[in-house]
């Protein structure tokens, strides 16, 4: 074995060697790659007679791809199997990696070469994808501070490093506060109303800790059923408070309080914007996005808020009167919302989420998801083998006509040491190498309940319908990454796609979870194996837009909070973030959370996840995805088949295959034949006139 491959993080011959990677491999691998990258950069800085794709962009991409892949593996492991040793290695190396990327983004010699390439006679002969990469690079150098005066560059670099460190700390505080919390309940009588499988999972969790009774945590599959089903109001309040105050000054430990981290991040972002001569950080964030300006986004969101508000007010009035008359809750508190909503839904539509969940065992859901993808996009999905980071992780390959298109890891269950939420990330991107195509590989990560053992027999995991939707959502991102046909790394798959368009394929895929011809093939009752009954399906569809006004207004509230924080809030002024949020809620929301609620202290999307001044993207892309899906609805009306392979192929060719090689609006219009229209979104949410 060569010295290089002795360290598994430096082996790029194929898939990551997860079985061999140890925390002690991180520092030597990252140091070696940084040294190698710096040497390549130094060579590329030297003057050349004529700059070309081959003598400049390609060698730079080759070097930085290896660093990106190795650090990507480390970041992935840090998110899914966090240990003290791994965290220490990650935190030790993160500043060095950030420093390298910041210096690269400010490198004037490289910037001049990209500009020279853009101005050269050869530029017109390059493929559209390569032209787009060069245009993006010129834009990103400007955003990376390359044009700053030399005396300002060190501070700009310092801002990037501090920002990376504080975002990581923000994330770790949320994870530590989540992992640390435990609520033990001794008596089963206190758990009245809870479904059996939730109680079973809580009992198993207590047994793992060597305790009697039942253990609940702040991982979503554990705490949310308490809010949704527990008749014991005090229990609901306890878990609600714990979740709503985690990682805040009201939480368990002062060292996990994110209050100052939020302020520091906002100050750093405002300073970065000022250095780049923008009015605010929101303007910086929007440069590479579809939306034109912060005012454009705020106008879009306020229009949605206005349309949703009457529906939200009606939803809330109904819930309050139901809670008062049927549940004896004169005052509806925050910890009653999910409980009363579930009871109202059960009464109105005569079914519970729990009843639905019994029809969604994991194997059947996965089979149904694959069937949809195979039918729409003319591909085959097959089990595959690879080294994995946890025994529960599965691995698959996607082929078309026997040719490998991409592969993906599926990590479905919540566990300690794993960051909450659901996401898709890339292990490597598609690119053309000298002798072959490097195929894309994706990580698909969720946090669902794991299988439980009952009377010595393991039962497969059961998913709620919401979890099924989440799985389809992440798979949509995965398809965007894996079904690309672009051969240049920086715009293949999701790379180079505008952030506010990146949710288009994911939200598009969610729609199939509501189609009868899809659900009848992806459901089987856990005891009888019978598919979802049509009568229950009809109730689910009738209930689909249950409280959709409240839900839309909530997402608009989060999006406006994010946009205003980065647009017209002054982190150096006298008003706290909490004050600003309270004022915004008074203007926009119909439900005002309790004064102790510290939702923002775990809002990882905008403080640790790249969505700063970009959370609106979910709603923005939902307009695109609902409108794109309406083509399938039209095909279904004509043919009776929602899984239209003709529309699917067109979506694959014009949206998925194109990656970031052209503006997202062009891809959308090539697919839909016109500009996007908000009507389908309002119709899907039961809000059309």
* Domain residue ranges of the chain, discontinuous segments joined by +: 3-147, 181-255, 258-351+547-615
Q: How much is the pLDDT for 233?
A: 98
Q: Report whether 146 contacts 111 (CB < 8 A).
A: yes
Q: Report whether 164 contacts 297 (CB < 8 A).
A: no
CA 499 to chain centre: 11
Q: Give the model confidence (pLDDT) of 159-197 as tens digits.
A: 999 999 999 999 999 999 999 999 999 999 999 999 999
Q: How much is the pLDDT for 454?
A: 82
Residue with tokens 């923000």: 170
pTM of the predicted protein model: 0.94
Strands 441-448 vs 403-413: parallel, antiparallel or unpaired: parallel
**SS3 labels along 34-77:** HHHHHHHHHHHHCCCCCCCHHHHHHHHHHHHHHHHHHHHHHHHH
Token pair of 369, please? 């998801």
% of the chain exceeding 70 in pLDDT = 99
Residue with tokens 């994330």: 171
Question: Which residues, 6+ apart, have CB-to-CB distance to 14 below 8 Å?
Answer: none
Handedness of CA 306, 603, 369, 653 (dihedral sign): positive
Average pLDDT over residues 615-643: 96
What are the distances in angstroms from CA 91 to CA 62, 70, 149, 646? Answer: 25, 15, 30, 48
1, pLDDT greater than 90? no
Average pLDDT over residues 340-352: 95
Ramachandran angles phi, psi of 430, nearest 5°: -80, 135
Rounded CA-CA distance 663/646 in Å is 23
Handedness of CA 657, 660, 661, 667 (dihedral sign): positive
Token pair of 455, please? 């009377």
Nearest to 668 by CA among 631, 635, 628: 628
Average pLDDT over residues 361-382: 98
% of the chain exceeding 90 in pLDDT = 98
So what's the architecture of 258-351+547-615 in CATH? Orthogonal Bundle (1.10)
Catalytic residue check, 474:
yes
Instruction: Kindly state the DSSP code that residue 660 receives in the 8-state scheme.
Output: T
331, pLDDT greater than 60? yes
Q: Report whether 674 contacts 498 (CB < 8 A).
A: no
Which of 474, 503, 557, 654 is flagged as catalytic?
A: 474
Q: Give the model confidence (pLDDT) of 11-55 as tens digits.
A: 999 999 999 999 999 999 999 999 999 999 999 999 999 999 999
CA 67 to chain centre: 23
Q: How confident is the model at residue 456 (pLDDT cuts 50, 70, 90)?
A: confident
Q: How much is the pLDDT for 53?
A: 97
Q: Give the model confidence (pLDDT) of 565-621 as tens digits.
A: 999 999 999 999 999 999 999 999 999 999 999 999 999 999 999 999 999 999 999
Token pair of 447, please? 């946090």
Residue with tokens 């609106």: 616
What is the overall mean pLDDT for the chain? 96
Average pLDDT over residues 98-119: 97
Ramachandran angles phi, psi of 458, nearest 5°: -80, 130
Q: How confident is the model at residue 5 (pLDDT cuts 50, 70, 90)?
A: low
CA 428 to chain centre: 17
Average pLDDT over residues 133-154: 97
Q: How much is the pLDDT for 635?
A: 96
CB under 8 A, 24+ apart: contacts of 644-652: 644/376, 645/375, 645/376, 645/378, 648/375, 648/376, 648/377, 648/378, 649/377, 649/378, 651/376, 651/508, 652/376, 652/377, 652/378, 652/483
Domain boundaries 3-147, CATH class: mainly alpha
126, pLDDT greater than 90? yes
Strands 183-185 vs 380-383: parallel, antiparallel or unpaired: unpaired
> Measured between alpha carbons, how far apart are the two ends of the chain, in Å?
68
The total number of residues shown for the chain amounts to: 689
> Quick check: do 3-147 and 258-351+547-615 share a fold?
no
Q: How much is the pLDDT for 2?
A: 52
Token pair of 67, please? 């660093």
Strands 423-428 vs 441-448: parallel, antiparallel or unpaired: antiparallel
Angle, to 10 degrees, between the axis of helix 153-180 and the axis of helix 84-105? 160
Q: Give the model confidence (pLDDT) of 531-568 as tens digits.
A: 999 999 999 999 999 999 999 999 999 999 999 999 99
Nearest to 373 by CA among 466, 477, 289: 477
Beta bridge partners of 558: none
109, pLDDT greater than 50? yes
Rounded CA-CA distance 15/12 in Å is 7
Nearest to 243 by CA among 346, 331, 337: 337
């Amino acid at each position: 074995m060569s010295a290089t491959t002795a360290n598994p993080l430096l082996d790029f011959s194929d898939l990551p060697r997860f079985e061999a990677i140890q925390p002690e491999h991180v520092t030597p691998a990252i140091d070696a790659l940084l040294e190698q990258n710096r040497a390549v950069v130094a060579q590329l800085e030297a003057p050349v007679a004529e700059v070309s794709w081959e003598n400049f962009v390609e060698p730079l991409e080759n070097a930085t791809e290896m660093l990106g892949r190795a650090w990507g593996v480390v970041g992935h492991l840090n998110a899914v199997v966090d240990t003290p040793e791994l965290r220490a290695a990650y935190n030790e190396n993160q500043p060095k990696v950030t420093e390298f990327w910041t210096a690269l983004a400010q490198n004037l010699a490289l910037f001049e070469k990209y500009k020279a390439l853009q101005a050269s006679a050869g530029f017109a002969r390059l493929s559209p994808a390569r032209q787009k990469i060069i245009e993006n690079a010129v834009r990103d150098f400007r955003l990376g501070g390359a044009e700053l005066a030399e005396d300002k560059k060190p501070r700009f670099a310092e801002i990037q490093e501090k920002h990376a460190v504080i975002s990581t700390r923000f994330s770790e505080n949320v994870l530590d506060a989540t992992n640390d919390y435990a609520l033990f309940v001794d008596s089963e009588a206190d758990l009245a109303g809870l479904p059996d499988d939730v109680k079973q999972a809580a009992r198993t969790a207590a047994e793992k800790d060597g305790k009697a009774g039942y253990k609940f945590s702040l991982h979503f599959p554990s705490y949310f059923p308490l809010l949704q089903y527990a008749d014991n109001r005090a229990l609901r309040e306890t878990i609600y408070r714990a979740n709503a105050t985690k990682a805040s000054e009201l939480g368990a430990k002062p060292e996990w309080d994110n209050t100052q981290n939020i302020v520091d991040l906002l100050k750093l972002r405002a300073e970065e914007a000022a250095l780049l001569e923008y009015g605010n950080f929101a303007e910086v964030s929007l440069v590479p996005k579809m939306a034109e300006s912060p005012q454009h986004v705020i106008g879009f969101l306020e229009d949605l808020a206005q349309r949703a508000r009457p529906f939200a007010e009606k939803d809330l009035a109904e819930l309050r009167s139901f809670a008062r008359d049927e549940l004896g809750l004169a005052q509806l508190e925050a910890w009653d919302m999910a409980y009363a909503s579930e009871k109202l839904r059960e009464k109105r539509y005569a079914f519970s989420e729990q009843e639905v969940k019994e029809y969604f065992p994991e194997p059947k859901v996965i089979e149904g998801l694959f069937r949809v993808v195979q039918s729409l996009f003319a591909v085959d999905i097959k089990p595959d083998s690879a080294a994995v980071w946890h025994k529960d992780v599965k691995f698959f390959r996607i082929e078309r006509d026997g040719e490998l298109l991409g592969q993906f890891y599926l990590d479905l269950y919540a566990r300690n040491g794993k960051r909450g939420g659901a996401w898709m990330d890339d292990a490597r991107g598609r690119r053309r190498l000298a002798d072959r195509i490097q195929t894309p590989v994706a990580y698909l990560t969720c946090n669902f309940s794991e299988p439980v053992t009952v009377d010595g027999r393991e039962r497969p995991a059961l998913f709620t319908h919401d979890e099924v939707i989440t799985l389809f959502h992440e798979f949509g991102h995965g398809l965007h990454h894996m079904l690309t046909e672009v051969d240049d790394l920086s715009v293949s798959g999701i790379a180079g796609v505008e952030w506010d368009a990146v949710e288009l394929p994911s939200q598009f895929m969610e729609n199939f979870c509501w189609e009868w011809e899809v659900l009848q093939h992806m459901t089987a009752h856990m005891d009888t194996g019978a598919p979802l009954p049509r009568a229950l399906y009809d109730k689910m569809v009738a209930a689909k837009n249950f409280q959709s006004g409240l839900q839309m207004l909530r997402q608009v509230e989060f999006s406006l909070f994010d946009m205003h924080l980065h647009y017209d809030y002054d982190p150096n002024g006298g008003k706290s973030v909490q004050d600003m949020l309270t004022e915004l809620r008074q203007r926009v929301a119909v439900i005002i959370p309790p004064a102790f609620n510290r939702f923002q202290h775990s809002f990882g999307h905008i403080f640790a996840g790249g969505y700063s001044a970009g959370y609106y993207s979910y709603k923005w892309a939902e307009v695109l995805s609902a409108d794109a899906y309406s083509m399938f609805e039209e095909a279904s009306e004509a043919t009776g088949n929602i899984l239209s392979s003709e529309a699917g192929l067109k979506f694959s060719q014009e949206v998925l295959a194109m990656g970031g090689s052209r503006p997202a609006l062009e891809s959308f219009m090539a697919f839909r034949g016109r500009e996007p229209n908000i009507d389908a979104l309002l119709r899907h949410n039961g809000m059309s006139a």
